[in-house]
Structure 1
């Protein structure tokens, strides 16, 4: 009987994913809509720049094409490009092309599905300002989903409360700015840079919430974007539209390290899965950005 119990215990422990990086218990992905890498160095964003010093980064990560919102938010969490997951337009609410593979929720496999299946007890949250995010993840796979209807202040407040109250294993926070300012006033304008500064303040507040929750030393935080922009739009093939920041800090991350290898937004999902020790589906094309780790 004891041998049977031991065998079952070993089977269970081998099935459920174990984190690859020692000391990591939580991962927070923060996405800022329309945040072009071109603007990073010129902005007043001390928290973001401190995050670069504390971790690994590249300002040459690329979106998939077209450089639009739903296409890239889907790619970011689904580990593949639009040719495979099927979301091809800025406001896709369902795949315009048949998804090459479907999970048990009827969507292309995402980091949320992998976590729920391989870490069943995980606390998973999605807090998002743009309502379009709500079509890109399986509601049944997460513990908390909050749509904040283009209100970044509300998204930040909900995220801070959730971090402190639930200490989530994985949390995705989406901010709608500076994309709104880019569309209404323009990219590379004083108003756009001011919005990046406001985003930086919100980032600092999230950092403080992680510290207040006692999670700072065992949390990896990854900051990135879906696309940049030029003039009052995006979706094209310019570097202003395609290049995005990709910054990661936390235990096991190399400090003040500029990533030299190519990073595409679908590598984000692969990196998250690698951190958590999850087995990824063959249909994913993303690769973990291992260069960022010690």
Structure 2
């Protein structure tokens, strides 16, 4: 297959919403991308619309139940901080960066989700120390490219403030600019500043708008670096979002009820010792897993009693089969969608419906904004914009899906993805 670009630069601005488009169109670097390239402000995300499944979809073109990353975190009932799907092995089948490596291309990924221990030339995976005895720098080094990461830490490590934003994205930006000097064929970059601000300050907060302005400056720095390294005319630059977000004021804590009904057993210290049913939150949605038919029926009856009352926060109930039909985990017994203003928490203690306070958010126990909701929610689309080699200029794509992005990227690089659910957006490509 003919290759349409020399360098593909994919920049994921986590939580970028279609509703941000008027703001982006006023910011100089996003405006430049829009003016010279093509874009879609109606990209349909996946279900559940959380970061790790979304990013696995972007590089595979598949729905979560086919690539295997069905949630951000693993099903580990009762664990205060469950492990995430950090590792490449979580993804079934091949990925865009695997195919690029097979074709002899140079690849780089900076904080791109689900890449730990992946076969990527310059790999700084998104992974954090999740045990008291873990060291953050060591965990990163052991799961990515050690020499590359050591160099980035030596040059720019002083900019970080743990995992706090915007310092983390500032570190990622400087590492990206330095990585561009290596002229990778495929570069994947993930920025989370906006997502963090929306979680802890709300969707339309000034903090979120400030993050958008910082992202515009980051995009400008990347464009400048491509020009300085003689790559700009031969590159395709993509800026995209993975999902949108919605504000919330209440948390639905279904496990509190499941524990009361004896479906979750805990010891004196509150640690889960056994469970017959468990609610695994995806923020705006939730999976409910059960272990036997009787538990499934008991949970069904409970949910059917709760759902009609809007104050219980459950908008809809899907069976596992119906969830699978939307690309989510077929192994769940049920999938729940939250009403506007609500999201799901795995918490075992407290009240079934928890009203979120400023103190809750300050202590990072709860949030003011979330994603994970159904792609069918109103005003919940995300954005795709691309410019440069291989991209037709001045074209607005009326609609596309997150599953279409991977096949489109593959075609730009002259590659083929393994049996994707999506398809290349042909009208976008200058062939």
- Same structural fold, with TM-score higher than 0.5 when normalized by the shorter chain: yes
Aligned CA distance change for structure 1 residues 202 and 106 (closer, same or farther; 3 Å): closer
Q: Which residue of 1 aligns with 2:107?
A: 124
Shift of 1:90: 3.0
Instruction: Select 1:74's aligned residue among 46, 56, 64.
Output: 56
CA contact (8 A) 1:112 1:138 kept: no
Q: Is 1:271–2:271 an aligned residue pair?
A: no
Instruction: Select 1:27's aligned residue among 8, 11, 17.
Output: 8
For 1:57 and 1:269, the matched residues in 2 are separated by 16
Matches of residues 90-129 of structure 1 in structure 2 within 5 Å? Answer: 90-91=72-73, 93-94=84-85, 107-117=92-102, 119-120=103-104, 122-128=105-111
Specify the SS of the correspondent of 1:42.
Answer: helix
More strand by share: 2
Shift of 1:221: 0.8
Q: Is 1:204–2:341 an aligned residue pair?
A: no
Instruction: Select 2:193's aligned residue among 177, 180, 200.
Output: 177
For 2:429 and 2:91, the matched residues in 1 are separated by 34
Shift of 1:82: 0.8
For 1:248 and 1:83, the matched residues in 2 are separated by 28
**If the length of structure 1 is used for normalisation, what is the TM-score?**
0.81
Q: Which residue of 1 aligns with 2:372?
A: 235
Specify the SS of the correspondent of 1:29.
Answer: strand
Q: Which residue of 1 aligns with 2:174?
A: 157
Q: Which residue of 1 aligns with 2:123?
A: 145
CA contact (8 A) 2:7 2:186 kept: yes
Q: Which protein shows a greater Rg?
A: 2
Specify the SS of the correspondent of 1:266.
Answer: helix
After superposition, the C-alpha distances for 1:122-149 in whole angstroms (9 at most, x for unaligned) are 1100011x7xx1xx23634211111474
Shift of 1:239: 3.5
After superposition, the C-alpha distances for 1:171-223 in whole angstroms (9 at most, x for unaligned) are 00100120000000000122211110110100000000000010010000111
Specify the SS of the correspondent of 1:202.
Answer: helix
Aligned CA distance change for structure 1 residues 106 and 56 (closer, same or farther; 3 Å): closer
Larger RCO (CA under 8 A, 6+ residues apart)? 1
After superposition, the C-alpha distances for 1:6-53 in whole angstroms (9 at most, x for unaligned) are xxxxxxxxxxx651x2xx211000001111111221355221121011
Specify the SS of the correspondent of 1:59.
Answer: strand
Q: Which residue of 2 aligns with 1:258?
A: 396
Specify the SS of the correspondent of 1:168.
Answer: coil
CA contact (8 A) 2:43 2:381 kept: yes
Runs of 4 or more, structure 1, over 6 Å off, are none
For 1:156 and 1:116, the matched residues in 2 are separated by 24
Aligned residues: 257
Task: List gaps (5 residues or longer) in structure 2.
Answer: 75-83, 127-162, 248-368
Q: Which residue of 2 aligns with 1:193?
A: 209
CA contact (8 A) 2:60 2:417 kept: no
Instruction: Select 2:19's aligned residue among 38, 44, 63.
Output: 38
After superposition, the C-alpha distances for 1:43-72 in whole angstroms (9 at most, x for unaligned) are 552211210111110100111011111111
Instruction: Select 1:85's aligned residue among 61, 67, 86.
Output: 67
Specify the SS of the correspondent of 1:178.
Answer: helix
Specify the SS of the correspondent of 1:40.
Answer: helix
